Amino acid sequence: MIWVLASVGILAGLVAVVAAVGSFLPQEHVASRTLKLPQPPDVVWQVITDRPGQPTWRTDLKSIEPFPQRNGREVWQEVSRRGDRLTLEALEIVPPRRLVTRIADEDLPFGGRWEYEIIPAASGCQVTITEIGQVYNPIFRFISRFVIGHTATIEQYLKALAAKFGEPAAIQ
């Protein structure tokens, strides 16, 4: 019985430490990654903005479902393979150079936006995604910063984009 109580006490202490450290981390973070591709910007733009349907190049998604526009802005929901849903809104669309999307769900423990920049290069283009994110819960903030990493989702996305074109994912 003492081992059970000790284990529960240690676990509670660990959660308290994680929460305490997380509460000292800033809610907002900025993370950025870049991928060079030999495709022209307009080809990459077409792939990135191809909605709705089933994006075959994004293996993490089951589908993308269109929603009615909000304030004249494009809105859609991404459905993950696990069934999680994330509603997104396009804040800025400048083909084929710049796309800014934001998480439109207000009841999540996180929020923020992604800024996509597609810059022409001599042998194709350079795609940079910058995440300006917020993690509201201190425990999730700790996990996002020290366990998962703020760039994990961006890197997963860029690897899938590179694979779509049959290219290696040399992410910077």
Write the CB contacts of 54 (distance below 8 Å, at least 6 apart in sequence).
61, 62, 63, 64
Model pLDDT, residue 2: 86
Cβ contacts of 48 within 8 Å, gap of 6 or more? 99, 116, 118, 127, 161
In this prediction the pTM is: 0.91
Q: Which residue has the tokens 């994680």?
A: 18
Task: Name the one residue in this structure whose structure tokens are 């284990």.
Answer: 7
Residue 33 CB partners (closer than 8 Å, separation 6+): 128, 129, 151, 154, 155, 158, 171, 172
The pLDDT tens digits along the chain (172 residues) read 788 777 777 787 777 776 777 788 899 999 999 999 999 999 999 999 987 676 789 989 999 999 999 999 999 999 999 999 999 999 999 999 999 999 999 899 999 999 999 999 989 999 999 999 999 999 989 998 899 999 999 999 999 999 999 999 889 8
Q: Residue 170 has what pLDDT?
A: 86
Residue 59 lies in a domain: no
Domains held by the chain: number: 1
What CATH number is attached to the domain comprising 119?
3.30.530
Is 58 within the bounds of a domain? no
Q: Is 84 inside any structural domain?
A: no
Strands 61-70 and 73-80: antiparallel
Q: Could you tell me the residue range of the domain that residue 39 belongs to?
A: 2-49+96-164
Residue 83 covered by a domain: no
Q: Which residues contact 146 (CB under 8 A, 6 or more apart)?
A: none
Per-residue pLDDT at 34: 98
